[in-house]
Amino acid sequence: MTTRPRILVARAVFPETIARLEQHFEVEHNQADAAWSRQELLARLKDKAGALTTGTERIDAELLAACSELKICANMAVGFNNFDVPAMTARGVLATNTPDVLTETTADFGFALLMATARRIAESEHYLRAGRWTKWSYDMFAGAEVHGSTLGILGMGRIGQGIARRGAHGFGMNVIYHNRSRLTPELEAACKARYVTKDELLAKADHLVLVLPYSAESHHAIGAAELARMKPTATLVNIARGGIVDDAALAQALKEKRIAAAGLDVFEGEPKVHPDLLTVPNVVLTPHIASATVPTRRAMADLAAENLIGYLVGGQPRTPLNPEVLKKKP
C-alpha cells in the first residue's frame, strides 16, 4: 500500500477544499475558529510534507529546522510576509501564494473603503441607527469629493493598478502613484497614472490608498512625519498590511483632525485594533475582508490546493514564489 503525503491545513477552509485535498493527502486541519499557537503549529507540522497557510502563520528558519519533512507551504493569500522565502529556498521548501485571482475583488473593496471614508457612510449610519437624525442641516456629514479629485496610490502592483483604473476611468480622478519601480509607459497609460516621488504623493493626494507589500522596508511607511505632509482634508485608506501604518500616530492625527479621515482593513497586531482607533469617529474599520467575496475566496482556496497537489502529487505548482526550488526537486 502506498502511503499518501500528509498535509496540514492551518485554518478552517471550505469543506469542498478539504474534500478535494483528501482525494490526494492525509489531511489534518484546524476546524476551530482560532489559529493554532506557534508551538502547536510547529508540533503539528513536524511530520507533514505540505501546509496550506492563510497568511498569518510564520514560516521561518526555526520552524523549518524542526520540520524536516516539509516540502511546500501554500499561502491562501497574495501577501506572503509570513514566509521567510530565502530560508525556505535554502531548505528546499517551495513557497506559493494566490496572486491574480483576488486582484479585482480587492481593488473593488479598496474603492468601497475609499468611498465609505470620503463620504462618511459608516459614521452617518451609526448616527441614524442611534436615532439622532431629527433634522436636515446644510453640513450634515458633508464629506470629501471623490470624482475629479486626486487619487494617490502607494504601491502600484496588480491591485494598485486596479484601483487606479477604477479611479481614472470610473470617477475621472487624477491618478498619481509612487512605487519602488515605475510602470511601463503602456501600463501607466492603461491606468492614466503619473509617477511622482513619495513626498509629492503625500502632499498632493486627496485620497491616499496603500497597496504595497509589507517588509522591513515598508514598516511604518506612513508614520507621524508622513501624516504631517498630507493635506488636512485628505483621507487615507490601508488595504495592504497592518504595520505599514503607525496606527498610534494615525489615531493621534485623526483625533487632532490633521487629516480628515481614514479607512482601514488591516491593523498592526490584528485581530487586535489599537484602542484609540476604536474611539475616533472619522475612521472606517473593517476586519481584513478586502478579498472576501465567496467566488474569490473559493478561487484562492482552489489555487492553494492546486499548488499543493501540483507539487506533491504530480504536474506543476501554478504560482511558485521561489521557482528555483523546482529545479532542485529530486
Task: Report the Cα–Cα distance between both ends of the chain, in Å, rounded.
Answer: 22
Is residue 24 flagged as an active site residue?
A: no
Q: Does 99 bind ligand 8YV (CB under 6 A)?
A: no
Q: From the list 8, 52, 67, 77, which residue makes contact with ligand 8YV (rule: CB under 6 A)? A: 77
Query: Which residues contact residue 79 at a Cβ distance below 8 angstroms, ignoring those fewer than 6 apart?
Result: 55, 97, 213, 214, 240, 241
Query: Dihedral (C-alpha) 18, 300, 297, 217: value to the nearest 10 degrees?
Result: 130
Interface region with ligand 8YV, contact rule CB under 6 A, candidates 20-28, 70-78, 203-211, 277-285: 70-78
Q: From the list 50, 79, 242, 317, which residue makes contact with ligand 8YV (rule: CB under 6 A)? A: 79
Q: From the list 41, 78, 122, 191, which residue makes contact with ligand 8YV (rule: CB under 6 A)? A: 78
Span 170-209, contacts to ligand 8YV by CB under 6 A: none
The catalytic residue among 4, 6, 288, 298 is 288
Q: How many whole angstroms separate alpha carbon 248 and alpha carbon 136? A: 35
The catalytic residue among 241, 274, 297, 318 is 241
Query: Dihedral (C-alpha) 152, 155, 156, 158: value to the nearest 10 degrees?
Result: -120
Nearer to ligand 8YV, 33 or 139 (CB): 33
Q: Does 55 bind ligand 8YV (CB under 6 A)?
A: yes
CB of 93 to ligand 8YV, least distance (A): 19
Q: How many whole angstroms separate alpha carbon 179 and alpha carbon 236? A: 17
CB of 261 to ligand 8YV, least distance (A): 22
Q: How many whole angstroms separate alpha carbon 168 and alpha carbon 178? A: 16
Task: Tell me the DSSP string of 16-54.
Answer: HHHHHHHTTSEEEE--SSSPPPHHHHHHHHTT-SEEEE-
CA distances to 21, 39, 56, 137, 287 from 50, rounded to whole Å, are 11, 17, 16, 60, 28
CB of 71 to ligand 8YV, least distance (A): 21
What cell does 13 get?
477552509
Q: Where are the beta strands (DSSP E) in the chain?
A: 6-9, 26-29, 50-53, 72-75, 94-96, 150-154, 174-178, 193-195, 207-210, 235-238, 261-264, 283-285
The answer to whether 156 and 184 are in contact (CB under 8 A) is no
**For residue 83, what are the β-bridge partners?**
59
CB of 102 to ligand 8YV, least distance (A): 5
Q: Does 64 bind ligand 8YV (CB under 6 A)?
A: no
Is residue 11 flagged as an active site residue?
A: no
Is residue 270 flagged as an active site residue?
A: yes
Q: Does 259 bind ligand 8YV (CB under 6 A)?
A: no
Nearer to ligand 8YV, 54 or 96 (CB): 54
Span 204-233, contacts to ligand 8YV by CB under 6 A: none
Q: From the list 27, 52, 64, 102, which residue makes contact with ligand 8YV (rule: CB under 6 A)? A: 102
Q: Does 54 bind ligand 8YV (CB under 6 A)?
A: yes
Residue 320 DSSP symbol: B
CB of 77 to ligand 8YV, least distance (A): 3
Q: Does 303 bind ligand 8YV (CB under 6 A)?
A: no
CB of 104 to ligand 8YV, least distance (A): 13
Burial code (b: 16+ CB inside 10 Å, e: under 16) for 177-188 equals: bbbeeebeeeeb
**For residue 175, what are the β-bridge partners?**
151, 193
Q: Which helix (H) or strand (E) holds 251?
A: helix 247-255
Nearer to ligand 8YV, 79 or 143 (CB): 79
Nearer to ligand 8YV, 173 or 321 (CB): 321
CB of 197 to ligand 8YV, least distance (A): 27
Binding residues vs ligand 8YV (CB under 6 A): 54-55, 76-79, 102, 291
Q: Which residues are catalytic?
A: 241, 270, 288
